[in-house]
Amino acid sequence: MHGHWSSRAAFILAVTGSAVGLGNIWKFPYITGENGGGAFVLLYLGCVFAVGMPILVSEVLLGRRGRRNPIATMAILGQEEGGSRHWRLVGTMGVIAGLLILSFYSVIAGWSLAYALKSAVGSFAGTDARSAAFEFFTFTGNWKALLAWHAVFMAMTVFVVAAGVQHGLERAVRVLMPLLVVMLLVLVAYSARYGAFEETLVYLFKPDFSELSGESMLIALGHCFFTLSIGMGVVMAYGAYLPEGTSIAASSLTVVLADTVIALLAGMAVFPLVFGNGLNPAEGPGLVFETLPIAFGQLPAGSVFGTVFFLLLTFAAWTSAIGLLEPAVAWIVERHQRSRVVGAVVVGGLTWLMGLATVLSFNVLSDLRFGRGTLFQNIDFLASNILLPASALLITVFAGWIMCRNSSSEELAMGSGLLYKGWRLLSRVVAPLAILVIAFRAVGVI
Ligand code: PHE
């Protein structure tokens, strides 16, 4: 039998740990920059609360009811509630999306690890825009180095997952999460003191809707799933280890609030340094790597704060990567009766190999462009903007329409009051409609 969390707080910390990651600190700032700022932030917040939150509740609910790895959970619940085991494909799709994401996630987390070290040894001292861009270019141009850092990060992830739910996952988040919050607050204070803070507030919170396209809406929606870790069986797997009698709705709300606040704080740590130094917010995936070293290179005690920043990014990524690996490992352990160590090593090894595609996208294969751009951009788009919305849609349809009312209200333990009705309305109507409308708009049907 699998493990379980020692308490409700441990569960909330673990889900928050999986939610808060590169998505908040690396991706949110750069996609906000690429999509014009305030209006995109508003859209993202709308998606998070109206679509992401009810689906998060649904996913935890399914996980706790099924009490297995996501594939088995969907098979069993599909059989019980919907008369078909084919629902397991939803679980399978989620697990695959999760591994695809992990394959590039670990590469970027590897950059972060390398940058923490670079900063600590003082390589950013006196860096200007040209030398920072050059440094990033030479670093990402060296595929062997990227592959090695990717290996280090994957090994850290495998190590924790192999150690088990309470000894590995729980212990890691208990130490790392509080550390992360403290580091982030210190950085925001630092940016407020030395950067263009007012300009940042206007940029993030004053919407200009002329900047928004149908494509931006799809990006905001995809990011809402990415950042809340939904649609890939991660919270379903975590929900399976949740003790009876814990309020799913209250835990989910806590997670959503924490994730959102941390993303906004990350924006407030990154953009003041970007604007204060006249850098370009629409820089793309290199944003924090190409711009922040310049700021850290020029400000007082910059190498200390630079190290803190990249360590923060690495820790945040670590607690998320653990979540991405868990569903597939749980599946191997339960289905194939292998130990967690074997499961973690095998899945981690295969995903590491898949990461080669991302590694090469920045150097050897950087000229290979199709669809969304490089190989990495296509993998990200496929996983985050197609697979995640699709499996999130199926999850919410299952919880809202297929599962019988008694099962969901019993599991949510909210009675049949207003809160329960609110969740049902959001998960049956609002969330599916929003996903469909945004998807159709993005492909140009509406
Ligand atoms: N939510 C994480 C982030 O924002 C990414 C992630 C997705 C982690 C899915 C686990 C599962 O970085």
pLDDT of residue 57 exceeding 60, the answer is: yes
Ligand 1 site, residue 324, Cβ cutoff 6 A: yes
DSSP assignments along 285-313, one per residue: TTHHHHHHHHHHHHSTTHHHHHHHHHHHH
Ligand 1 site, residue 260, Cβ cutoff 6 A: no
**Domain map of the chain by residue range?**
8-442
pLDDT of residue 1 exceeding 60, the answer is: no
* Predicted local confidence at residue 178, as pLDDT: 84
Ligand 1 atom showing the smallest separation from residue 228 Cα: 1
Distance 23 CA to ligand 1 centre (A): 6
* Predicted local confidence at residue 415, as pLDDT: 66
Q: Are 27 and 206 in contact (CB under 8 A)?
A: no
* Least confident piece of the model among 49-63, 146-160, 370-384: 370-384
Ligand 1 site, residue 320, Cβ cutoff 6 A: yes
Question: What mean pLDDT do residues 11-33 have?
Answer: 89
Q: Which residues contact 10 (CB under 8 A, 6 or more apart)?
A: 166, 170, 173, 174
Report pLDDT digits (tens) over 193-227: 988 999 999 999 998 888 777 788 888 988 999 99
Ligand 1 site, residue 24, Cβ cutoff 6 A: yes
Q: Are 94 and 231 in contact (CB under 8 A)?
A: yes
Q: What percent of the chain has pLDDT over 90?
A: 49
Distance 100 CA to ligand 1 centre (A): 12
Question: What mean pLDDT do residues 281-303 have?
Answer: 82
Q: Which residues contact 342 (CB under 8 A, 6 or more apart)?
A: 332
* Predicted local confidence at residue 133, as pLDDT: 86
Distance 24 CA to ligand 1 centre (A): 9
SS3 229: coil
CATH class for the region spanning 8-442: mainly alpha
Distance 241 CA to ligand 1 centre (A): 19
Both tokens of 181, joined, read 């919050």
Buried b (16+ CB within 10 A) or exposed e, 7-44: ebebbbbbbbbbbbbbbbbbbbbbbbbbbbbbbbbbbb
